[in-house]
Amino acid sequence: MTLARRAAAMALATTVCAGPAFAQDAAPPVEIELNKLEAREGGCQAYLVARNLGGLAHESLRLDVVLFDRDGVIARRLAVEAGPLPAEKTMVKAFVAEGVACEAIGSALLNDVLSCGGDGPCLDAVQVVARPPLTFTK
């Protein structure tokens, strides 16, 4: 095999092998950050920072969020609407967890994405993060 043919074969192999690996390692197109908890009369107001990192707008982004107390016991389960979320846009969304004191919340879980207004599996398209001392997992 000539040097030119060997180089072409290696370039093709690199392109074919790198394509799927890159797609699997790519960051999810939506990041939801649990940013802040704020005491409200009768409950706790939570602020989410939703970042649409992709090119697909979401008319709806309905999240199934579970709040746990400091002992790990479920304190409240909520369906939170974080949409609409335009493409390549960052927005702040707020929701109130009635009957839950902010200081009692130990962590949050993104249990599921009920609706994302796009094609494909919604939960896989969302990454969660939190500002310390808060924790938010999926």
pLDDT in tens, 18-63: 333 323 445 578 999 999 999 999 999 999 999 999 888 888 999 9
**Length of the chain counted residue by residue:** 138
- Span 58-117, pLDDT tens digits: 889 999 999 999 999 999 999 999 999 999 999 999 999 999 999 999 999 999 999 887
Buried b (16+ CB within 10 A) or exposed e, 82-102: bbebeeeeeeebebebeebee
The DSSP letter of residue 58 is: B
pTM for this model (two decimals): 0.77
All domains in the chain, ordered by first residue: 28-137 (2.60.40)
- At 137, the amino acid letter reads T
